[in-house]
Structure 1
Amino acid sequence: MSWAWEYAFGAEETARTAPAAFLTAVERKAAELVRAAEAQYLHGRAHREGDPKGGDITVPGGMFRYQIVVRAERVYIVQLTHLDF
């Protein structure tokens, strides 16, 4: 298995209606998170400790919340917040 990111829970539904520019920014940052997690957790499937605390990242047009699950080698986007002014 290789590291990747994906939408989880209600974020997938929100992504269907969010503006393309906002989603592009989210996807770019998610890819950066994947590269960082892959470098930090070289043997992700063999990881025996707890998962790191997730966080929030601000992007143009809003923010998103993520969670890293090391043994699954995944970065999950669990919430999207688009500021539609």
Structure 2
Amino acid sequence: MDYDNEQSEETKNEWQNDPNNWIWGIFYYNPKDKRLFAPKKIKEFGYTTNFANRHAVFALIILMITLIVIGRHLN
């Protein structure tokens, strides 16, 4: 990871507040943002996946598959 190109908190907040980075107002999609998970619009609600980052989408799919498998084994 190249820390010299790390974005400032101010830039990340600008991206977060830019409505063009939100699909339908709920899906965060920003190719410039390298974070896997970014704070939701209302930060107190936790984090959301940056769907522009393929690693984040992969992590989300693995998490969903894991939860489904665990759920089926509990029944």
- Larger relative contact order (C-alpha < 8 A, sep ≥ 6)? 1
Higher strand share: 1
TM-score for the superposition, normalised by structure 2:
0.33
Higher helix share: 2
TM-score for the superposition, normalised by structure 1:
0.29
